[in-house]
């Protein structure tokens, strides 16, 4: 009798354990599903939790070196530096490293794809660019000829904003979120996903990024490389990603609350920083005093981008706009650039009207509270 009771009790506990295990698996699956939002345009957005992180890179900048030379000459104490040695090239515009507090938001699991952009163009009639010229022209088709699952390219910051404005105006009544471009701080926070890898999700660039060492000559379909810890694909490499912020040559004075840094300098037509002349790489290149200081790779990139911009001017004729508005930030690197540009902290600036064949974007959604 006792044995029968023991066997019955064992069976009971086994059934309960099995039920709990199934329930846990169910809850686990639901929690993964609940962490994503699928919108009416087929864009999947991933929940990004609130948190704090160290933005940028720790580097002994050229300014610090210069100041310490002066201090050494005068016999003064040198300015303290505690930055670790790095095996990768760190640019001054990634400094100073600073603490940023970021609120929760949702970010596109992938870059906006050509298929999604085509649905938008068809539904909105947006076949003309922000400056009035034909958007879906032969050149656009040439550089977007790699399938609907590839990220859309040749989209300016202005046109990315127009896409997002259309999303907000045409979303269904049950979509209570607000769409926008990510701030630069949100982008880097999401890229890092709670880690400190060199690239977005790994120290091995080939795991997570398409760059000039593995690109097959063009952008690749999204989500073929490994995602980062928060399930975001192609944060490093594939195509450059527009963010909301105005470009500044350092983080001195940057917001620490995760918001976009939108104050900046407006460049005149005769300014050396004039963004549309040198394409996506212009702001970093213009920080050098002369072309003779560029290395061979930078010279090649600059020449290619200048030739491309010349083609665009010829293509658009008189509709080419003398864009004197403030440069905006691009993050993530691309298939055409070296792996160093795919680092989590690397950044460029370009004219908001820049229509480069390596530029794309992803969207952010802020749910209503």
Q: What is the mean pLDDT of the chain?
A: 79
Q: Is residue 9 in some structural domain?
A: no
* C-beta of residue 65 within 8 angstroms of C-beta of residue 40: no
Sign of the dihedral defined by the CA atoms of residues 69, 73, 79, 85, in that order: positive
115 and 164 assigned to the same domain: yes
Evaluate the omega torsion of the peptide bond into residue 193 and state whether it is cis, within 30 degrees of 0: no
Beta-sheet strands, E only, within 61-115 = 98-102, 105-108
Query: What pLDDT, on a 0 to 100 scale, did the predictor assign at position 332?
Result: 98
81 and 104 assigned to the same domain: no
Domain that holds residue 64: 56-86
Q: Is residue 227 in some structural domain?
A: yes
81 and 199 assigned to the same domain: no
77 and 178 assigned to the same domain: no
Percent of the chain with pLDDT over 90: 57
The phi, psi pair for 302, rounded to 5°, reads -65, -45
Residues in contact with 256: Cβ distance below 8 Å, sequence separation at least 6, in sequence order: 98, 99, 100, 101
Q: Which residues of 325-338 are buried (b: 16+ CB within 10 A; e: fewer)?
A: bbbbbbbbbbbbbe
72 and 103 assigned to the same domain: no
242-270 pLDDT, tens digit per residue, is 999 999 999 999 999 999 999 865 433 33
* Position with higher pLDDT, 100 vs 132: 100
292 and 340 assigned to the same domain: yes
How far, in Å, CA of 150 to CA of 57, rounded? Answer: 31
C-alpha separations of 139 from 152, 314, 333 in Å: 13, 12, 22
How far, in Å, CA of 351 to CA of 326, rounded? Answer: 7
Query: What pLDDT, on a 0 to 100 scale, did the predictor assign at position 130?
Result: 52
* Position with higher pLDDT, 341 vs 33: 341
The two three-digit tokens of residue 10, written as one number = 């064992």
135 and 280 assigned to the same domain: yes
- At 153, the pLDDT band (50, 70, 90 cuts) reads very high
Query: What pLDDT, on a 0 to 100 scale, did the predictor assign at position 3?
Result: 40
153 and 208 assigned to the same domain: yes
Query: What pLDDT, on a 0 to 100 scale, did the predictor assign at position 128?
Result: 61
Name the residue with tokens 């609120």.
103
328 and 219 assigned to the same domain: yes
Q: Is residue 22 in some structural domain?
A: no
Query: What pLDDT, on a 0 to 100 scale, did the predictor assign at position 101?
Result: 98
| Candidate from 17-21, 246-250, 280-284 with smallest mean pLDDT | 17-21
- At 69, the pLDDT band (50, 70, 90 cuts) reads confident
Q: How far is CA 166 from the centre of its chain?
A: 21
CATH number at residue 354: 3.90.1580.10
Q: Which long-range contacts (CB under 8 A, 24 or more apart) does 118-122 make?
A: 118/148, 119/41, 119/42, 120/41, 120/163, 120/166, 120/167
236 and 301 assigned to the same domain: yes
Which of 110, 312, 297 is closest to 220 using CA atoms?
Answer: 110
Q: Is residue 71 in some structural domain?
A: yes
Query: What pLDDT, on a 0 to 100 scale, did the predictor assign at position 276?
Result: 32
Query: What pLDDT, on a 0 to 100 scale, did the predictor assign at position 87?
Result: 57
C-alpha separations of 361 from 108, 138, 158, 187, 346 in Å: 9, 21, 11, 11, 16
139-149 pLDDT, tens digit per residue, is 899 999 999 99
* Position with higher pLDDT, 108 vs 292: 108
299-357 pLDDT, tens digit per residue, is 666 666 566 555 545 544 333 344 546 899 999 999 999 999 999 999 999 999 888 99
Query: What pLDDT, on a 0 to 100 scale, did the predictor assign at position 362?
Result: 98
How far, in Å, CA of 272 to CA of 190, rounded? Answer: 33
- At 135, the pLDDT band (50, 70, 90 cuts) reads confident
Query: What pLDDT, on a 0 to 100 scale, did the predictor assign at position 278?
Result: 31
Q: Name 55's bridge partners.
A: 98
Query: What pLDDT, on a 0 to 100 scale, did the predictor assign at position 300?
Result: 64
108 and 61 assigned to the same domain: no
Query: What pLDDT, on a 0 to 100 scale, did the predictor assign at position 189?
Result: 98
Supply the angle between the helices 157-170 and 114-124 in degrees, to the nearest 10: 60
Query: What pLDDT, on a 0 to 100 scale, did the predictor assign at position 277?
Result: 29
Q: Is residue 3 in some structural domain?
A: no
* Position with higher pLDDT, 45 vs 298: 45
| Candidate from 11-15, 94-98, 127-131, 183-187 with smallest mean pLDDT | 11-15
212-244 pLDDT, tens digit per residue, is 999 999 999 999 999 999 999 999 999 999 999
Query: What pLDDT, on a 0 to 100 scale, did the predictor assign at position 146?
Result: 98
Most confident of 124-128, 153-157, 350-354: 153-157
73 and 210 assigned to the same domain: no
160-214 pLDDT, tens digit per residue, is 999 999 999 999 999 999 999 999 999 999 999 999 999 999 999 999 999 999 9
Report how many domains make up the chain.
2
């Amino acid at each position: 009798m006792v044995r029968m009771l023991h066997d019955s009790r064992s069976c009971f506990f086994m059934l309960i354990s099995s039920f709990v295990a199934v329930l846990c698996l169910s809850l686990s699956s639901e929690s993964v599903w609940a962490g994503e939002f699928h919108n009416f345009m087929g864009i999947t957005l991933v929940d990004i939790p609130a948190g704090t992180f160290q933005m940028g890179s720790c580097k002994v900048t050229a300014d610090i070196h210069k100041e310490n030379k002066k201090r050494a000459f005068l016999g003064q104490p040198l300015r303290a530096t505690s930055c670790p040695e790095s095996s990768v090239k760190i640019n001054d515009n990634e400094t100073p490293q600073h603490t940023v507090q970021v609120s929760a938001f949702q970010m596109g699991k992938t870059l906006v794809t050509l298929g999604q952009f085509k649905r938008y163009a068809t539904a909105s009639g947006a076949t003309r660019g922000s400056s009035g010229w034909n958007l879906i022209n032969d050149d656009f088709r040439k550089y977007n000829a790699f399938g609907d699952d590839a990220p859309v390219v040749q989209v300016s910051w202005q046109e990315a904003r127009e896409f997002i404005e259309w999303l907000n105006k045409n979303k269904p009544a049950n979509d209570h979120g607000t769409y926008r471009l990510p701030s630069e701080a949100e982008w880097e926070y999401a890229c890092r996903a709670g880690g400190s890898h060199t690239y977005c999700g790994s120290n091995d660039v080939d795991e997570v990024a398409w760059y000039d060492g593995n690109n097959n000559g063009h952008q690749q379909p999204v989500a073929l490389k490994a995602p980062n810890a928060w399930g975001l694909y192609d944060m490093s490499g594939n195509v450059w990603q527009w963010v909301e912020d105005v470009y500044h040559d350092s983080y001195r004075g940057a917001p620490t609350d995760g918001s976009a840094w939108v104050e900046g300098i407006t460049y005149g037509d005769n300014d050396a920083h004039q963004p549309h002349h040198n394409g996506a790489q212009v702001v970093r290149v213009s920080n050098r005093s002369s072309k003779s200081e560029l290395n061979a790779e930078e010279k090649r990139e600059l020449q290619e981008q200048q030739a491309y911009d010349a083609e665009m001017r010829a293509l658009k004729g008189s509709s080419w706009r003398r864009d004197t508005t403030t440069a905006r930030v691009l993050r993530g690197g691309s298939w055409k650039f070296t792996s160093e540009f795919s680092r989590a902290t690397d950044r460029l600036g370009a004219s908001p009207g820049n229509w480069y064949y390596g530029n794309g974007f992803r969207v952010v959604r802020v749910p209503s509270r």
